[in-house]
Structure formats: C-alpha cells, structure tokens
A and B are shown apart, each in its own frame.
Chain A
Amino acid sequence: MQYETVIGLEVHVQLHTRSKMFCGCPADYQAAEPNTRTCPVCLGLPGALPVINRRAVEYTVLTGLALNCRIPEFTKFDRKNYPYPDLMKGYQISQYDLPLALDGFLEIDGDTQLGLGRRRIGVERVHLEEDVAKLQHFPGEGYSLVDVNRSGVPLMEVVSKPDMRSAEEARQYLTLLHSIVQYLGVSTGNMQDGNFRCDANVSIRPVGSQILGTRTEVKNMNSFRAVYQALEYEVVRQREVIEDGGAVVQETRGWIEEREVTVSQRSKEYAHDYRYFPEPDLPPLRIGPERVAELAAELPEFAPQRSARFQADLALSGYDADLLAGSRSMANYFETTLTLAATAKEVANWMLGDLARLLNQDHREIDASPVTPQRLADLLALVADGTLSTSLAKTVLEEMYATGGEPADIVREQGLGQISDTGAIEAAVAEAIAANPKAVADYISGKDTAARFLMGQVMRLTKGQAQPELALRLVQEGLELQKTRGSLEP
C-alpha cells in the first residue's frame, strides 16, 4: 500500500519591534535579567489595559503581502481563554475569525524525489497575538519559576494549508518563509533563540484518497534539521502503526532530539474550549486599500528574485548568487560594494571566501563586519592597480578585520606595498642567486623549474612584496646572465 504524506505547518514568528504588542515595555528580552521588562499591562495586573503596537500590525500586513495574501479591510483581536501560570491574564489576546491576512501562498521547488515539481503551498492565514511568559522547571523541587519578560512580545502566526507532501517540502517552505521574514526585517528568525517556532500537523493517507487521515501535532522542533528529522520519523511511525493493524491516535507529540523520536504528550481530543470572544478593550482595525498599497510599495526584492538577478545581470554562478542573496544584509553589502567600483566576481569571491571565513570564526553577521563595503572596495582597488598581490591582500584583510582600519593605512604602516621597483628586486635576485648555486646549476643544465624556486626565494627575501611577475622575469634574466657568464668562463 502506497501512502501519501500530508503536512501543514504553523510557524510562530517573534516580531522585531522595539516594544511589546500591547504595552511600552522593551521587546528585547533575551539578554535581560528575569522580570525586568515588565509593567502592569504585560503582568496582567487588575485594571491594566492593552494598546495595539502599530509597527507589529504593519509587519504582519507586510508579511501577509509577501506571502501573496489578501488583507481584509476589517480585522479585530479576540481573547483566547485558558488557565496556565505563564499566561498572565488567564487569556491571550490573539485573533480568531478576522485575522490580518488570508489566503496566500509560497512557491517551492517541490520534492523531485516524489516527482513533484515547482508549485504553490497555500498559506491559510497570518495573524497577530502576544507571547506568553517563560517558565523554568525544577523537577522534584516542588516549584517552577516565571520570567515575565517575554509576556506580551508580539508573535505573528503563519498557518499553512496542509499542502506539503514530505519533510523535504516542509524544509523548503520553512527555508523560504524564514528568508522572507528576515528579508522584510520583521524578525531575526532565529530558531535557537526561539524567535521562529515551528509546529507541524502530520498525517498519511492511501495515495489517491481525498480524505485526510488522522493527524498528530508535532512540537518541540528547535532547528530546521529537527523539523526535517521529526517529520521523517513521524511519517514512518504512522505508517508502521497502520500496517500493524492499528489506527493513528489524534494527539500532540514532542520531538525528543537526543533520542530522535516523537513521544506522545497529551491527547488532542481534550482540545481546550478557548471560548473565543472579541477583545472588548480594543477597537477593531480598519486597514484601507490605500494603506495596504503604501505597505505593498515597501516590499523588498526577495532572495529568489535577487539571486536570479545576480545570475542574469552579473553572470554569477547559481551557487554564489544564492549565497549572496541569502540574507538581506549580505545582498545589500554585496550591492553596495559593487557601487563603489568593484567587479562582481571579485567581490563575490572575497565575500564568500576570506571575509566569510573571518565572520564565521567570530559568529558575526555581516552587519557587524569591521570591514565595511567601502573598505572592501578600497582593498580590491589596491589589488587591481598592482599595489598588492592577492596573497598580500588577504593579509591586509585580516588586519582590517582585526583593527577596523583602512587598507591604505595598513599598507603604508606596514610597508606592505608591492615592490615594483626593478632595482630593489634585482638586489634580492642577486642575493638569491648567490645563496643557491645548486639551483643556478640546475637551471643552466636545463631545469627551468629552478627559476621558480629562485623566484620563491626572492619573494621570501622581499617579505612577499615583490611583484611576482616582475620577480620571475628578473630571476630569469639573472639566470640567463649566469648562463652566459658561465659559458664565458674558462
């Protein structure tokens, strides 16, 4: 029996706003001491009232537009009621039946292994809500701790249609969604930090069936890789259950990273009745078509389009173009450097090679690079005009990265300019020839490669600064002179 996998994803994206969703507390809680980013509103103290964060609404509309959604003119917030110690008010302000965006899609390449090509994965809706506090448990100790800093941080939820047919397609969808929210700048989208959380709904059914099988909800996947592995595992598990004659239980299952399995957490048929009703403390919002048009005009060129443009206009390879277009900051850095009169291939090589290496060592993003586009362009100019050899330039780059200095200054201070003064090199050539009689003899007896060896010696003597082509030529001239002399000697 052949089974088809059906996957839907719910992604919660923490929005990168300055303040929380319904109060003025700073939204950057990651580095703060527990319970230092709070106020009566996000603490849920009696009498405190919510006020909508405009930027969060704009970010959500932008995301909806980027996902090809319809932005309804009328939208509102609702209360989702349930008790839990991390939910300060005993209800979460969310959106139920009139979300900010509806009926969108993302185009993925498709799982070619399944014979599926490029197609649309439906986005059911995008809505806005507030995050809950963070609990820290101490099993066996008899207490848990509540850190309210995260309570009230804006959370955007993107719900897909169950259109994905494999873990691979889920990976493609997630990667693209991640790239989009990053590109928009609405979120840093960091799964490890908890700003990009993914829950999956998985079921299987016989190929050709139109009826959905019983689904399980899979949670606790904290990386893209975990999502992939968890989905692969769950599909196999469900198939085995059915083939053993059983039925899949509708439940929530948690992914256990260390054991690489999903484990039942609670029965989903106990679905909470959230008693949704419109939030009486907040007026509904009217987002007119004019405002939507304004926001649509703010949409940037996204990664796939940017990469395609790099390939078409700048003749970059697909691989390089994808990497450079991969993040908005990378792509911007690249394009800025290009405007400072550098060539695409050069910049690409340096950015993806040495600069990337330095940044990765430090776990730094390109935004935090001490080597600015201007400085990189200046460095490349020095290579282009012959002042620096490529290998010397690499040294200078390291210094620029370490000190944040200008390439011209570093070259001057360290006397690193390429020596193209013939006289200076000739002195080194003479020294090299005098110190390496065997090499000279080899050359005279016909071993041309000895010239290269001597050139290497000249480079060493000039601390790598001799212009390589010139050094080689002078070495060859010097050796020829030796040859002639030798033949003249008795």
Chain B
Amino acid sequence: MDCAITLNAIAGYDSRDSTSLNLPSTDFTAGLTGDIKGVRIGIPREYFVEGMEPGVRSAVETAIKELEGLGASVEPVSLPTTEYALACYYIIAPSECSANLARYDGVKFGYSYQDTPDMWKAMETTRQLGFGPEVKRRIMLGTYALSAGYYDAYYLKAQQVRTLIRQDFDRVFEQVDALVTPTSPVVAFPLGEKMADPLQMYLIDVCTLPINIAGLPAMSVPCGFSEGLPVGMQLIGPHLSEERLLNMAYAYEQATEWHKARPGI
C-alpha cells in the first residue's frame, strides 16, 4: 500500500526528461484487491544460483508456495541470457557514468582543488581527491570500455547483449504474468567485509541487474529471515505492469507477517 501511495505521488510525465513516458495517470492503490487467483507466475531457474545461501533459498521457496496457495499458478521458466547481465551492466553503467562524472572538475561547482597555477593539474587533483575508490574504479572501467579500439568489443557488444536480455524477458512474459526470484542470493554482509574484493560485491547484484538492463518494473517484498537477517523476494513484471505487481505484493502481505518483523540484530 505504501509503495502504491508513493508511486501515485512520483509517477507521471516530466517534460524535462526526454526518457519519461507520457501516459494518462493511474491510481496505483485502486487495483489492490488482494485477489491473485489465476495469476501466472514464472520461476526462472537461472536466478537460483549455485552460490545462493540455503536460508535465502528456503525462504523464497516458501514464499512461492504461499503465492500458489493464494491462487496463483506457478511454472518453471528459463532466461538463458541471465548469466550475461552482470557483465553487460558493468560495462554499460560505468561507461555512461564515466561521461556523467566528467563535469566534476572543480571549475564550476563542488569541491575544487586550487593550490596550483596549472589548470589541468587543478582539475586532475580535484578529481583525484574528490572521488572515492569505487567511483574511480567505475570511471576507469567506463573510459576503457568506450575507447577507440575497444568500443566495439565492449560497449557496443554489451548494448547488443542488452537487446537479447530484453528479448528473453519479452518471450517469457508471453507465457507468464510475473516472475518471482530472490532479490539477492545472500543476506546482507557486514559493512566493509567485501571491500577488498569488488567483484564479489558485484555478484550480489546478479538478481537485480537484469531488471535494470531490461528496464522492467520490479519490487522486493520481505519474505523471511536467514540467520537473523531479512530475506527479500523479487517480483518482476513486463513494462507497465506495476498495478499487478503491487497487487501480488499486497496479497502476500495480507497473508503473512514478514513485512512487520524486525531483524534480530
């Protein structure tokens, strides 16, 4: 319900955003009946990865059973391009951000290193001191992926794979109305634990990145605990299916108590 209310407030056409859809407005609270009888749910097997924590797996599987109990039908599906989504994202996003972050040069706003008469030195030092390591990492990745000689192999290829990922979803949504997956294969890790291994950190996103790539609506719904930490199940729908997703989450919430629970930490 809260999500629906929030979405009502923030959804809508923005004439200053060229990527904003111009559609008549919807009341996202109006469809919250709690009735999901007949909704066809797909369970993509590629999202139940090998490295998945057992506690996460069981919580999500139990939740799926719950949805079945509420009248939804459940079937296995396959999205073979899922394994490429991570690489795809980690080429496209850093590439775009390497350009987006170019404006932070200390010339017109923000942190500005001034202790040198040389303009280029000032700009370089501003960015050297102003950006943190993860940001720098992504800027370097992105610059590399876009450079002459590498653009075709990386950025262009990633965008082409992106189309394939979208097509996979389009195909699956001809069979089912929504997909259910874990939001993350593991529960939250302690702060600072994965800093030395960024790749490990990137792997956590394996369930949510394909959604970004494909531009699909998705939401995470609390569905249990593992070792005292919360587990989320992810609902994914085709474009503009927010109402149905919200209703699925609403139905689940009406039947369970997880959304009211607090982690035992």
Binding site for B on A (CB under 8 A): 41, 43-46, 49-52, 79, 81, 83, 85, 88-91, 142, 146, 273, 275-277, 280-283
The reply to whether the CB of B52 lies closer than 8 angstroms to some CB of chain A is: no
- Least distance between B96 CB and chain A CB atoms (Å): 5
Given contacts A275-B143, A277-B151, contact A45 B109 (CB under 8 A): yes
Cβ B103 vs Cβ A46 within 8 A: yes
Partner of A51, one of B18, B109, B148: B18
Known: A280-B96, A281-B18. A275 touches B102 (CB 8 A): no
Cβ of B18 and Cβ of A52 under 8 Å apart? Answer: yes
Given A49-B16, A281-B19, decide whether A88 and B146 contact each other with a Cβ distance below 8 A: no
Question: Do A90 and B105 have beta carbons less than 8 Å apart?
Answer: yes
Report the minimal beta-carbon distance from B206 to chain A, rounded to whole angstroms: 23
Which residues on the A side are within 8 Å of B17 (C-beta)? 49, 51
Residues in B neighbouring A85, C-beta threshold 8 A = 105, 107, 119
Please name the residue on chain A nearest to B109 by beta carbon. Answer: A45
B: residues with CB less than 8 A from A are 15-19, 95-96, 98-99, 101-103, 105, 107-109, 117, 119, 123, 143, 146-148, 151, 155
Residues of A within 8 A of B99 (CB): 79, 81, 89-91, 275, 277
**Residue of B with least CB distance to A45:** B109
Contacts of B119 in A (CB 8 A): 85
Cβ of A83: which chain B residues have Cβ within 8 Å of it?
102, 105, 123
Q: Is the CB of A51 within 8 A of B16?
A: yes
- Give A50 to B20 CA distance when docked, in angstroms: 12
**C-alpha gap A445/B17 in the complex (Å):** 95
The 6 sampled A-B contact pairs (Cβ below 8 Å) are A51-B17, A81-B102, A85-B107, A90-B102, A276-B151, A283-B18
Q: In this complex, what residue of B is CB-closest to A23?
A: B16
Given contacts A83-B105, A90-B99, A90-B103, contact A277 B155 (CB under 8 A): yes
A298 to B107, CA, bound (A): 44
Q: Which of B143, B146, B151 has the most CB of A within 10 A?
A: B146
8 closest A-B pairs by beta carbon, nearest first, are A90-B102, A275-B146, A273-B148, A90-B103, A44-B103, A89-B103, A282-B18, A91-B99
Give the distance in Å from the alpha carbon of A58 to the alpha carbon of B119 in the complex: 39
Known contacts being A91-B102, A283-B18, A283-B19, is A44 close to B108, with CB within 8 Å?
A: yes
Q: How far is the CB of B162 from chain A (nearest CB, A)?
A: 12
Bound Cα distance A52, B95 (Å): 23
Task: Quote the shortest CB–CB distance from B10 to chain A (angstroms).
Answer: 15
With A43-B108, A44-B108, A91-B99 as given contacts, are A273 and B117 in contact (CB-CB < 8 Å)? no
A283 to B19, CA, bound (A): 7
What 14 new A-B contacts, CB under 8 Å, besides A52-B18, A81-B99, A282-B19? A49-B16, A49-B17, A49-B18, A49-B19, A81-B98, A83-B123, A85-B107, A89-B99, A89-B102, A90-B99, A90-B103, A275-B146, A277-B95, A277-B146
Which residues of the other chain, A, contact B105 by a CB distance below 8 angstroms?
83, 85, 90
